[in-house]
Amino acid sequence: MSHTSNKSELAAFISNELNNCSELPSDCELVFGGGFSDIRMVWSSASRDISHLISTTEEADTSIFLHAKDALACVYQRVVISCRDTDVLVLALGHISELSPEIWIHSGTSKDPKYIPVHSINLAPSVIDNLMAFHAGTGCDTTSHFLRKGTRTHWKVFLEEPDLLQAIGGSAECSEDARKGAEKFVCHLFGYGNCGSVNEVRLKMFVKGKSSIEALPPTE
């Protein structure tokens, strides 16, 4: 299953088979999309208009939340997302205000299932608002983390300075405010919150000679 074409062919096979399913209970609806040969195709067993679920993204992580939002529009008060991916949990927290009043993440294993009540996680509004920017900096599907700076170190700094990341992700272009905020966050991350730039941090760390070149923060 590590080969991309094998995954897409299996998804297309399952989608087509489910499309032909005609034995669903009358009070159940099956909705899915992204698995057909045409990733823009979506299907509902209730034959209702679900064109708003069409997406060209290749990542299921984000498509999941289109379906969660659709469930809310259908007056479902509880949504359970079955996934063991941290990215999905972060997305759920980041968009909790737009989703169902009760949203759970089903993770764990078949022998030891776990249900995380996302709606009950209590974090400050500024932390929630900037959570996805924080997650991107700690290493996610599309970015790497800083050498020897794990998630716990990032999280400690983030709880103290969440507003430094508030301008990140607001638009497709990286604004000057976003760049400066992110740079200041990295200064705090390496223990030099009083420095104005990462270049200054790099110099101080290099002069002290306590870190390898690889362990220095990136340049400005």
**Digit-coded pLDDT (tens) for 43-61:** 888 888 888 888 887 778 8
Q: What percent of the chain has pLDDT over 70?
A: 98
With a CB cutoff of 8 Å and minimum separation 6, the contacts of 7 are 1
How far apart are the two ends of the chain, measured CA to CA in Å? 40
Tens-digit pLDDT profile for residues 22-39: 677 777 888 888 778 888
Tens-digit pLDDT profile for residues 174-211: 888 888 999 999 999 999 999 989 999 999 999 988 67
Q: How confident is the model at residue 95 (pLDDT cuts 50, 70, 90)?
A: confident
The model carries a pTM of: 0.76
pLDDT value of position 151: 83
103 beta partners: 79
